[in-house]
Chains A and B, each alone.
Chain A
Amino acid sequence: MKKTGIAIAIMGLGFGLMSGGVSAADMVVKLGHVGPLTGSISHLGKDNENGALLAVEEYNAKGVTIGGKKIKFEIMGEDDQADPRAGTTVAQRLVDAEVVGVVGHLNSGTTIPASRIYHQAGIPMISPSATNPKLTQQNYAGVFRTIANDVQQGGAIGKFATGTLGAKNIAIIDDRTAYGQGLADEVEKSAKASGGKIVAREFTNDKATDFMAILTKIKAQNPDVIFFGGMDAQGGPMLRQLKQLGINAKFITGDGACSGEMLKLAGDALSANAYCTQAGLPLDKMPGGKDFKDRYKKRFNLDVQIYAPYAYDAAAAMIEAMKAADSTVPAKYLPALKKINFQGVTGNVAFDDKGDIKEGAITVYQYKDGGWNPVD
């Protein structure tokens, strides 16, 4: 019994050496990706993961050589269920698996607590979609994002509501997540600063489907504009319920509900009164957008939801930094990542000293002809 065991071990060793010999030049480097793959916004989580996966596959196909070795990148995809606690658990799992960098997480609420774990382990992370300002205000050296933050987005929404739409009375709803609340706070600040009056500030949560009670309350205040900070899974039903209550105010929502899914979920409740904003440019107007759309469709047979291009650029930024530093060791390529400057799918990718993307654009969209169309 013992002998067979040893024999198997030796055989195994032999095979190990053989296979090692065949691809001696290939070194596997693992990048982590985290997003919600289950739960109400798992469609967005999968979209992000696909974005990062596409980047890694394309670099592998092109062939990347770092430190004289041919590198094969792999994505280790984890599910944080959009839950802050699950987020820290999987963050620790990625650290233990010795990934060299992390693309993620999707939600601000999960990204902020997880960023501390990556920071302590010295692993750089780039979130493609967490827009809460607090993320980069923690002054963690290895924390970046490829999307404009909510100070920029909220500021733009507040000015748009009071300026372009000429709104006096504004009602604000958020879903009490770090993202929704953070964005709503910025909208409130910006709207007040530009002369608007906040007539109602209401709250829901990220699992709710019924908003009749808070919308009825808002209706009594007769606002010109209602802003919702939250995701499409709530935004869609909310828009339907606005119609059911006969509320004619203009409805603005942030990037979390600025998706194709939102169009389906809100259905015939959509009108020219519905607006949403997106950090960054529309996919078709991104420098590499059209091409990315086709490559993504070809690879996954799915349409891009929202953040896939940002996840793609986040993964690309890491790989570019590794190439520039000629090392896949986190501590060695981090300085290169801070100074990175290249043309990505979403535009020029370069970070400021906090880790925020330098050229973070905001686009306002209006519902027209069955889709979201950029407002000039």
Chain B
Amino acid sequence: METLLQQIVNGLVVGSVYALVALGYTMVYGILGLINFAHGEVVMVGALTALQTLLLLMGIAPDMAPLLKLAIAVLVAMPVCMILGFLMERLAYRKLRNAPRLAPLITAIGMSFLLQTLAMIIWGRNYHTFPQLISTDPMQPIPGVFITPVQVTIVIVSALVMAGLILLVTKTRLGRAMRATAENHRVAALMGVDTNAIIALTFVIGAALAAVAGVMFASNYGIAHYAMGFMPGLKAFTAAVLGGIGNLGGAMLGGIVLGLVEAVGAGYIETMTFGFLNSSYQDIFAFVILGIVLIFRPTGLLGERVSDRA
């Protein structure tokens, strides 16, 4: 029982990070129908920028409170990623907005490689140790189930950020403009929405979320690396598809479900298959679930409003 609870905790933590990254994929897809494969790299840039800021802060103000340092690092990483997101859209994707769908997709993959290589040139090839400023000493809320303060922070921050985003999209004028652009950007433009600005803003918001996810990811595992964004990016993309790409609630649900499926899958796959399969099939397990969901619900768990888009 403790083991199952522990696996659920593990899954929730990983799932929260997936969900946060998946939001970036799904927002861009919802508005443009583009899968921005370089989104995982924005996560990496966020983590490494925060790392750079932390190292600088430790040099000039070693006595500053650790949490304040981390807050400053996040506040530096977010605008850097926002500028990066803006530039990506402006320079790489805007010109291709009316091109066949394959062209921006391939551009996005190219952008992913480009960012990884640039990061490798700037930060080098080595793994960097990311200072764990939030404690990683385990607590036991239930005897036998361990959770660390940094993991609690991850789940809470993710939940808050996601709630904020939903409020933004559903309750504000800006959110209405975003939804209108998603539905049909030509008509939205006729109604006086500056669709270019809205699309740019979508990239910027997604990048800010990615920066937060990057810092949380690096704080949890204590490492940062120029290729660290690739796997979480891929998993988050899977989560977005699982939940229903283009759907904000779906991205969150997909992230959490994927995290749980992975953790519980890795823990019990061997028992469930009587030793036939083992934990090396951890990832396959997640993709099998994805396959099954897509067979019965081709638009994902919560579904995309496909008919509206057409």
Binding site for B on A (CB under 8 A): 37-40, 42-43, 46, 176, 201-205, 207-210, 212-214, 216-217, 219-220, 232-233, 236-237, 240-241, 243-246, 261, 264-265, 267
Question: Which of A209, A214, A261 is B221 in contact with, Cβ under 8 Å?
Answer: A209
- Whether A212 lies near B14 (C-beta < 8 A) is yes
- Whether B138 lies near A243 (C-beta < 8 A) is yes
Q: How far is the CA of A300 from the CA of B283 in the complex (A)?
A: 40
- Whether B125 lies near A43 (C-beta < 8 A) is yes
Q: Chain B residues near A212: list those with CB within 8 A.
A: 10, 13-14, 263
Q: Chain A residues near B282: list those with CB within 8 A.
A: 203-204, 213-214
Q: Chain B residues near A267: list those with CB within 8 A.
A: 129, 132, 222
Binding site for A on B (CB under 8 A): 2-3, 6-7, 10-11, 13-14, 120, 125-127, 129, 132, 136, 138, 140, 146, 148, 151, 221-223, 225, 227-228, 230-231, 262-267, 278-280, 282-283
The 4 closest A-B pairs by CB, nearest first: A203-B280, A213-B266, A42-B125, A212-B10
Q: Chain B residues near A46: list those with CB within 8 A.
A: 125
Q: How far is the CA of A204 from the CA of B148 in the complex (A)?
A: 22
Residue of A nearest to B120 (CB): A38
Q: Chain A residues near B283: list those with CB within 8 A.
A: 205
Q: How far is the CA of A233 from the CA of B283 in the complex (A)?
A: 19
Residue of A nearest to B228 (CB): A209
- Whether B221 lies near A237 (C-beta < 8 A) is yes
A-side binding surface: helix, strand, loop or mixed? helix
Residue of A nearest to B281 (CB): A203
Q: Chain A residues near B11: list those with CB within 8 A.
A: 213
**Inter-chain residue pair count (beta carbon < 8 A):** 110
Given A40-B225, A219-B6, A240-B221, 17 additional A-B pairs, CB 8 A: A40-B227, A42-B125, A43-B126, A204-B279, A207-B230, A209-B231, A212-B14, A212-B263, A213-B11, A213-B267, A214-B279, A217-B279, A219-B3, A240-B136, A245-B6, A246-B140, A264-B129
Q: Chain A residues near B14: list those with CB within 8 A.
A: 210, 212
- Whether B278 lies near A201 (C-beta < 8 A) is yes
- Whether B267 lies near A244 (C-beta < 8 A) is no
Q: How far is the CA of A219 from the CA of B280 in the complex (A)?
A: 18
- Whether A243 lies near B223 (C-beta < 8 A) is no
Residue of A nearest to B283 (CB): A205
Residue of B nearest to A174 (CB): B280
B-side binding surface: helix, strand, loop or mixed? helix
Q: Chain A residues near B222: list those with CB within 8 A.
A: 236-237, 240, 265, 267
- Whether A236 lies near B127 (C-beta < 8 A) is yes
Q: How far is the CA of A209 from the CA of B266 in the complex (A)?
A: 14
Shortest Cβ distance from residue B217 to the other chain A in the assembled complex, whole angstroms: 8
- Whether A213 lies near B262 (C-beta < 8 A) is yes
Shortest Cβ distance from residue B122 to the other chain A in the assembled complex, whole angstroms: 14
Task: Tell whether A244 pairs with B3 under 8 Å between CB atoms, given A217-B267, A237-B223.
Answer: no
Q: How far is the CA of A39 from the CA of B125 in the complex (A)?
A: 7
- Whether A244 lies near B136 (C-beta < 8 A) is yes
Q: Chain B residues near A220: list those with CB within 8 A.
A: 2-3
Question: Which of A37, A201, A216, A265 is B223 in contact with, Cβ under 8 Å?
Answer: A265
Q: How far is the CA of A46 from the CA of B124 in the complex (A)?
A: 12
Q: How far is the CA of A236 from the CA of B126 in the complex (A)?
A: 13
Q: Chain B residues near A202: list those with CB within 8 A.
A: 278-279
Shortest Cβ distance from residue B107 to the other chain A in the assembled complex, whole angstroms: 22
Interface centre among A40, A204, A210 (most CB of B within 10 A): A210
- Whether A203 lies near B221 (C-beta < 8 A) is no
Q: Chain B residues near A204: list those with CB within 8 A.
A: 279-280, 282
Q: How far is the CA of A212 from the CA of B138 in the complex (A)?
A: 13
Residue of A nearest to B129 (CB): A264
12 A-B contact pairs sorted by A residue (CB < 8 Å) = A43-B125, A202-B279, A207-B230, A209-B231, A210-B10, A212-B14, A216-B7, A219-B6, A237-B222, A240-B222, A243-B138, A267-B132
Residue of B nearest to A247 (CB): B146
Q: How far is the CA of A202 from the CA of B269 in the complex (A)?
A: 11
Q: Chain B residues near A261: list those with CB within 8 A.
A: 126-127
Interface centre among B132, B221, B231, B264 (most CB of A within 10 A): B221
Task: Tell whether A213 pairs with B120 under 8 Å between CB atoms, given A176-B280, A237-B221, A267-B132.
Answer: no
Task: Tell whether A214 pairs with B127 under 8 Å between CB atoms, given A204-B279, A240-B222, A265-B222.
Answer: no
- Whether B231 lies near A207 (C-beta < 8 A) is yes
Q: Chain B residues near A176: list those with CB within 8 A.
A: 280
Shortest Cβ distance from residue A111 to the other chain B in the assembled complex, whole angstroms: 20
Residue of B nearest to A238 (CB): B221
